[in-house]
Amino acid sequence: MRNRQATQLLFELSRPGLAAVQLPECDVPRRPVDELIPAAAVAAAPPPLPELSEPDVTRHFVNLSTQNMSVDTHFYPLGSCTMKYNPKRNERIASMPGFAGLHPYQPDASVQGMLEVLFLGQQMLAEIAGLPAVSLQPAAGAHGELTALLTAAAYFRDTGQARTTVLLPDQAHGTNPASATVAGFQTSQVKSNAQGLVDLDDLAAKLDDRTAVFMITNPNTLGLFDGQIRRIAELVHDVGGLVYLDGANMNAIMGIARPGDFGADMMHYNPHKTFSGPHGGGGPGAGPIAVIEKLAPYLPSPLVVRDGDGYRLDFDRPKSIGRVRTFFGNTGVLLRMVCYLLTHGGEGLRRVSENAVLNANYLLSRVKHFLPVPHGDRCMHEFVASGSKLKSQRGVATMDVAKRLLDRGFHAPTVYFPLIVPEAMMIEPTETENKATLDAFAEALFRIVEEPDDVLHEAPHTTLVSRPDEVQAARNPILKWTPNS
Ligand SMILES: *Cc1c(COP(=O)(O)O)cnc(C)c1O
């Protein structure tokens, strides 16, 4: 019976009347499809629709899916920042009907389970941050930055302080200055010193009574923990500014160091990075923020609060900056985050960070012998190697090495970031990889560096499409396929 209803529903949904939604035309240049897809991958004749067997269709799509690298099929040294392993248990829990079937307009009384999950999430994030007040609303890390800066701006306005400038280290992630600008602040860069840490003299020289916020990623984008952080916070607080911690690298310090304890006044988390939310293709994510007590009244509304034996959404927050996201944020991502946190527990989270740091240091100790690592002999959860010698001596670019890794069964690490390292390769193995995998990766990288230049310039050799035109793909994406173009 159920089956018949489902079939009926699918049938209804597939009626032509419903499908005939007109999408707006895309204003992009069209190129014939056979110019874009290699001849070997284009069928000689159209499939004999609709008479195709299910196995044929299944095989077609499964085979297509294996053309991609994924974290389930290959090692991805992109790390927590991009592609940490996503435990399957989170997906099973998130697809349980009691969660997956919820509607955002349901009254609080009928979603007590989900509200409890979110409340628990707020509490656990507060504990890990060492900061008392949490909003789960922002939709991504960058959105968390913006929300926290708007929260800080509301606080400054409310307390009559005219503070206009956000300071950032020169290795900051691009979203930091972008968020500061969108929030209406001016930005100013602080230099890094020779060790790749904040140059304290330069910071001190740039701080004054117009300083609103100093944004810092710690551990930083070079994979180094800035041990001067307490002194940095002191300097910022002395002029009345606030310290913002970009929490994208929390994978290295969970359960070991709390931002609130080392001087941060506000921070964001990236649950889709640190807490293993799946985010292939750029989304969805979440960007919860945690702040000190005096900023709490300005956080977005609503927050989840305990009410007697139950939970409710609290909208009665007169100083709040208001909503920054529809409904309650990306609850599916937040639910997976809570699964991950409960699965590990406090001790487990600490072990995640310890193993992430151990794995990165093991790989660093192998890679540095054939690819220079300019900053430091020890790292946190990631390290940045430089291909600048390969480039200057042989004309081999970091991009060539990255592409050749595909032929050897590895996804490339993050390349050309941070900008302060020439020909950068940012390598982050994460905590879930074993020694054999790390050894195989180090070996592949070593062999690649020894290979003839032309093999590298033309890599990858084993993938269906070799090197797409990335500039064209970013600037002029072809979003729609038209059969006759
Ligand atoms: C990923 C990242 C961000 C932005 O987070 P999103 O969730 O991608 O918006 C900010 N800072 C650093 C250091 C990051 O790695």
Q: What local confidence, expressed as pLDDT, does residue 20 receive?
A: 41
> What integer best gives the mean pLDDT of the chain?
90
User: Which token pair is 172?
Assistant: 């900051």
Q: Nearest residue CA, atom 14 of ligand 1?
A: 248
Contacts of 101 (CB under 8 A, 6+ apart): none
Distance (angstroms) between ligand 1 centre and the Cα of 258 equals 19
One domain for residues 244 and 338: yes
Residue 92's identity, in one-letter code, is R
Q: At which of 319, 344, 369 does a domain end?
A: 344
Distance (angstroms) between ligand 1 centre and the Cα of 248 equals 6
Taking the CA of residue 175 as reference, the ligand 1 atom at the shortest distance is: 10
The C-alpha atoms of residue 423 and residue 414 are separated, in whole angstroms, by: 11
Condensed to tens digits (0 to 9), the pLDDT of residues 196-252 reads 999 999 999 999 999 999 999 999 999 999 999 999 999 999 999 999 999 999 999
Q: What local confidence, expressed as pLDDT, does residue 39 receive?
A: 79
Q: Nearest residue CA, atom 7 of ligand 1?
A: 141
**DSSP reduced 3-state for 37:** coil
Pairing state of beta strands 186-190 and 165-169?
parallel
Distance of CA 64 to the CA centre of its chain: 26
The pTM assigned to this predicted structure is 0.87
Q: What local confidence, expressed as pLDDT, does residue 282 receive?
A: 61
DSSP assignment string, 238-252 = HTT-EEEEEGGGGGG
**DSSP reduced 3-state for 425:** strand
Q: What local confidence, expressed as pLDDT, does residue 10 receive?
A: 44
Q: What local confidence, expressed as pLDDT, does residue 19 receive?
A: 39
One domain for residues 316 and 383: no
One domain for residues 303 and 177: yes
Q: By 3-state DSSP, what share of the chain in percent is helix, strand and coil, each rounded to 5?
A: 40, 10, 45
Condensed to tens digits (0 to 9), the pLDDT of residues 397-411 reads 999 999 999 999 999
Report which of 187, 223, 221 is spatially closest to residue 206, judged by C-alpha positions: 187
Establish if 24 belongs to a structural domain.
Answer: no
State the chain's maximal CA–CA distance in angstroms.
75
Q: What local confidence, expressed as pLDDT, does residue 242 receive?
A: 98
One domain for residues 359 and 221: no
Q: At which of 344, 367, 382 does a domain end?
A: 344
Q: What local confidence, expressed as pLDDT, does residue 244 receive?
A: 98
Q: Are 438 and 429 in contact (CB under 8 A)?
A: yes
Range of the domain at 332: 91-344
Condensed to tens digits (0 to 9), the pLDDT of residues 160-193 reads 999 999 999 998 999 999 999 999 999 999 999 9
Q: Which helix (H) or strand (E) holds 404?
A: helix 398-407
One domain for residues 112 and 170: yes
The C-alpha atoms of residue 134 and residue 139 are separated, in whole angstroms, by: 14
Condensed to tens digits (0 to 9), the pLDDT of residues 119-159 reads 999 999 999 999 999 999 999 999 999 999 999 999 999 99
Establish if 250 belongs to a structural domain.
Answer: yes
Taking the CA of residue 81 as reference, the ligand 1 atom at the shortest distance is: 15
Establish if 458 belongs to a structural domain.
Answer: yes
Establish if 423 belongs to a structural domain.
Answer: yes
**Per the structure, how many domains does the chain have?**
2
One domain for residues 230 and 271: yes
Would you say residue 480 has pLDDT above 80? no
One domain for residues 170 and 275: yes
One domain for residues 200 and 286: yes
Condensed to tens digits (0 to 9), the pLDDT of residues 318-375 reads 999 999 998 888 999 999 999 999 999 999 999 999 999 999 999 999 999 999 999 9
Distance (angstroms) between ligand 1 centre and the Cα of 90 equals 22
Q: What local confidence, expressed as pLDDT, does residue 33 receive?
A: 64
Establish if 427 belongs to a structural domain.
Answer: yes
One domain for residues 172 and 245: yes
Would you say residue 11 has pLDDT above 70? no
Establish if 60 belongs to a structural domain.
Answer: no
One domain for residues 304 and 367: no
Q: Is 475 exposed, middle or buried (0-12, 13-18, 19+ CB in 10 A)?
A: exposed
CATH of the domain at 290: 3.40.640.10
Mutation pick for ligand 1 pocket among 146, 171, 173, 267 (CB with most ligand atoms within 8 Å)? 173
Which sign, positive or negative, has the C-alpha torsion 351, 352, 356, 357? negative
Length of the chain: 485
Establish if 459 belongs to a structural domain.
Answer: yes
Which letter, b or e, does each residue of 145-157 get, where b requires 16 or more Cβ atoms within 10 Å of its Cβ?
bbbbbbbbbbbbe
Q: At which of 344, 364, 397 does a domain end?
A: 344
Would you say residue 56 has pLDDT above 50? yes
The C-alpha atoms of residue 85 and residue 280 are separated, in whole angstroms, by: 11
pLDDT top residue among 436 and 64? 436
CATH of the domain at 379: 3.90.1150.10
Distance (angstroms) between ligand 1 centre and the Cα of 50 equals 45
One domain for residues 287 and 414: no
One domain for residues 274 and 181: yes
CA angle 91, 95, 97 (to 5 degrees): 160
Q: What local confidence, expressed as pLDDT, does residue 31 receive?
A: 63
Report which of 375, 377, 374 is spatially closest to residue 388, judged by C-alpha positions: 374
**DSSP reduced 3-state for 410:** strand
Establish if 81 belongs to a structural domain.
Answer: no
Residue 434's identity, in one-letter code, is N
Ligand 1: residues with CB < 6 A are 81, 140-142, 173, 175, 217, 221, 246, 248, 270, 285, 287
Average pLDDT score over residue span 410-426: 93
